[in-house]
Each structure stands twice: as structure tokens, then as C-alpha cells.
Amino acid sequence: MSTGPQHGLVSLRGLGRDRLEGLLDRAQSYVGSLVSSELAGATVTTAFFEASTRTRLSFDRAAHRLGAHVMDLSPDLSSTTKGESFKDTILTLTAMGTDLFVVRHWLADAADLAAEWSGRPVINAGVGRREHPTQTLIDAMTLRQEFGHLDGLRMAIVGDIRNSRVARGHLEAFPTLGVKLTLVGPTPFLPNHNPWGVRVSTELDDELGDVDVVYLLRIQNERGASQAIPADQSYARRYGMNAERLSMLKPAAVVMHPGPMNRGVEIDDAVADGERSLILDQVANGVPLRMAVIAEALGGTG
Ligand code: NCD
């Protein structure tokens, strides 16, 4: 099994279209696949220092389907609670035989640090406000399944963009894949700078008729967002996706959300559970997409 410094997947920045599409193709080839022995003998360690449902469990399932062994560090139950540092935790798990780390952390450079300390490939499962690259790839995969292509699609990303690592991943990869992005939200939720040069709008209702995808984000209260804008009915009235706004979309347009959803705030039941929603398709694609990223990081045959 591979050792020494490797490239995992920390960021999508600068990745070319061929590399991104190659990952999506590989992920598509894993859809519906059964357990294989492709990575038999490998150990994947998941280390999540922030809450997660979909991401941690789908990485776990993905690694199992490739035949790898999974070690899961639960920081709340580990010696982290006794004051052990992040670095010592990573060194300990490396010494135990980890071949690949999957890291979620509140620090934006946690994945880079884990790679440096361990000398192992690291997959970023969401670090700080930086990026959540596998979520972005899942969403690209889901849209490609829905529309058959990505080139020329228009996506409005709506909500707490300033605090969102998901939005940052999207900004790094979707333009490369030919998707035109518009960032929509109240000013305190929009990024201070726009190095991506994408469209920005504070008026959701003006955008709805033009887009193929409405991508909703949760208000990240744990990152202080609700001090800027309360996650209440006034937000829902102006930016919440409801049945009326759904009727303003083009007939083929779809609604996405990375989860976890706050129903009644950014999304109503009629939308979340409606025909235009791809939310559970996104969840389902988490497993094959993460299989592709793990297999690539560990040099599996594929
Ligand atoms: C997101 C995250 O943790 O970055 N969730 C996810 O992994 N699908 C988004 C969020 O927490 O709102």
C-alpha cells in the first residue's frame, strides 16, 4: 500500500476539466457496484472534528465497498477530550497504519497539516470555510445525470455564502465545468470579494426565471451567521424556496441542497419533498463519488 507524501484531495482550485470529468466518470462507473477487493488491505481513517451525518457515513460506506478497512476517530470520545493535540492525534493514527485520512475540521488548513504530518494522502471532508470538494463533485455528478451535460447550465447559489465551504468548492470547480454561477443572498451573506468574477445578486425573485439549478444553503449559525441575519421568517420570506417560488422556475429547473436542511427557513417541505428536488440523489451519489476519490488517492485500479 502506498506510503510517503501523496496527493489526496484537499482543494479543487486549479484542477482542469479533464481531471474533474475523469473523477465524475469514475464515480459514475461505481454506481450500483457491490463490495469489491480493489483496496483490500488498505486502512482509511475518518477523523471528523465537526458534526456530520452524510459525509462521514458515506465515506465509511465508500471505503467498505472498495474492500478497505475503516478506522473512525470520534473526537468527542477520544483523547482529544484529554487535551491531546490535533498533531499528536494524526501522528498516533499514522503510526497505527493509516493509509489515507479523511478529515473534517474547523481549521481551514487542517487537511494540509494532516498531510504534512502524516505523509499520507488526505481527503478534505470540509475544513473551516474553505472548501468541501467531495460535496462539489457529488453535485456536479448529480447534475450531469439530470441534464446529461454541465456546459452552459446556470446555477444560483442562495443563502449564507460567506460562511459556506460548499459554495467555495463550487466556485472553484463549476466554472471550469462550464456552469455559470450567480451568488444570491442578503449583503451580509455575500462574499466580501469576488475573485471568481461571478454574478452577484440580492434579489432571488429576479434570478429564478433564468436558472437551471437553485442551490440552497443553510444559515450557518455555528459560524456566527445569525448575528448578521436571523434565521427566521423574514429570511424565509425573502430567500426561502417555497411553492410560489418553485412556480417561477423554468419547467426543467431543479432544486439542490447539500444538507442538513433547516425546513421552514431556506426550504419549505413542498420544495424539499417535491418533484424538482435532487436532494436525495445528491445523498445517494455521495457513496460512488467518494469511492472514486478514495480509489484515486490510493492508486486503486478502477
Ligand atoms: C455542509 C458542511 O458541513 O459543510 N454539509 C455537508 O457536508 N453536506 C453544509 C452545512 O453544514 O450546512
* Strand ordering across the sheet containing 199-201: 199-201, 180-184, 154-158, 213-216, 254-256
Which of 53, 129, 135, 218 is the best mutation target for the ligand 1 pocket, counting ligand atoms within 8 Å of the beta carbon and taking the most? 135
Greatest C-alpha distance within the chain: 56
Residues flanking ligand 1, CB < 6 Å:
54-55, 126, 132, 135, 165-166, 218, 220, 258-259
> What pLDDT score does 2 carry?
38
Contact 263, 272 (CB under 8 A): yes
Q: How far does the centroid of ligand 1 lie from the alpha carbon of residue 41, in Å?
A: 30
> What pLDDT score does 81 carry?
84
Residue 273 amino acid letter: D
Q: How far does the centroid of ligand 1 lie from the alpha carbon of residue 166, in Å?
A: 7
Q: Whose CA is nearest to atom 12 of ligand 1?
A: 218
Ligand 1 atom showing the smallest separation from residue 220 Cα = 12
Ligand 1 atom showing the smallest separation from residue 164 Cα = 4
Contact 156, 166 (CB under 8 A): no
Q: How far does the centroid of ligand 1 lie from the alpha carbon of residue 50, in Å?
A: 10
Residue 212 amino acid letter: D
- CA distances (Å), origin 52, targets 236, 238, 258: 24, 28, 12
Q: How far does the centroid of ligand 1 lie from the alpha carbon of residue 220, in Å?
A: 9
Q: How many residues does this entry show for the chain? A: 302
> What pLDDT score does 300 carry?
60
Match 454574478 to its residue by C-alpha cell.
199
pLDDT tens digits, 4-40: 345 799 999 999 999 999 999 999 999 999 999 999 9
229-233-235 Cα angle (round to 5): 40
Residuewise pLDDT in 10s, the chain (302 residues): 333 345 799 999 999 999 999 999 999 999 999 999 999 999 999 999 999 999 999 999 999 999 999 999 988 888 888 889 999 999 999 999 999 999 999 999 999 999 999 999 999 999 999 999 999 999 999 999 999 999 999 999 999 999 999 999 999 999 999 999 999 999 999 999 999 999 999 999 999 999 999 999 999 988 888 777 766 678 999 999 999 999 999 999 999 999 999 999 999 999 999 999 999 999 999 999 999 999 999 986 55
Contact 122, 10 (CB under 8 A): yes
Q: How far does the centroid of ligand 1 lie from the alpha carbon of residue 277, in Å?
A: 17
Q: How far does the centroid of ligand 1 lie from the alpha carbon of residue 260, in Å?
A: 6
Kindly give, in sequence order, each residue whose CB lies less than 8 Å from that of residue 191, ignoring residues fewer than 6 positions away.
161, 162, 183
Which of 54, 104, 127, 132 is the best mutation target for the ligand 1 pocket, counting ligand atoms within 8 Å of the beta carbon and taking the most? 132
Task: Please give the model's pTM, rounded to 2 decimal places.
Answer: 0.95
> What pLDDT score does 78 carry?
85
Ligand 1 atom showing the smallest separation from residue 50 Cα = 3
Q: Whose CA is nearest to atom 2 of ligand 1?
A: 126
Q: Whose CA is nearest to atom 8 of ligand 1?
A: 258
Q: Nine-digit cell at 80?
A: 482529544
